[in-house]
């Protein structure tokens, strides 16, 4: 029973806290630029990548992953684009 409970917790943690699933993998700059234009511009004016420092883009992108329904790979790609563009 304890093993099942622990497994359930891990699965729920990955679903509730999306930054667990996007850390550690590399993003792609060109895919990130395209995903940034296609996804971020749907709901609001896109921000200049130089508007925020690298360490500030990370929580913004993770928050928007939830709000925008981005995949983990799209999130990594957009973060790579934003951080390398500022």
Instruction: Concatenate the DSSP letters of all residues of 2-25 into one string.
Output: HHHHHHHHHHHHHHH-THHHHTTS
What's the predicted TM-score (pTM) here? 0.69
Residues 11-38 have a mean pLDDT of 70
The gap from C-alpha 84 to its chain's centroid, in whole angstroms, comes to 15
Distance between CA atoms of 80 and 57, rounded to whole angstroms? 10
pLDDT band (50, 70, 90) for residue 23: low
Mean pLDDT throughout 57-65? Answer: 95
Give φ, ψ of 28 to 5 degrees: -115, 125
The residue among 81 and 46 whose pLDDT is bigger is: 81
């Amino acid at each position: 029973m304890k093993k099942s409970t622990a497994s359930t917790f891990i699965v729920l943690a990955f679903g509730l806290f999306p930054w667990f699933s996007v850390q550690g993998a590399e993003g792609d700059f060109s895919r990130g630029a395209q995903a940034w234009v296609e996804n971020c511009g749907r709901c609001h004016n896109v921000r200049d990548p130089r508007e925020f420092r690298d360490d500030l883009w990370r929580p913004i992108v993770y928050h928007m992953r939830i709000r925008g329904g981005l995949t983990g790979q799209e999130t990594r790609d957009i973060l790579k684009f934003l951080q390398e563009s500022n």
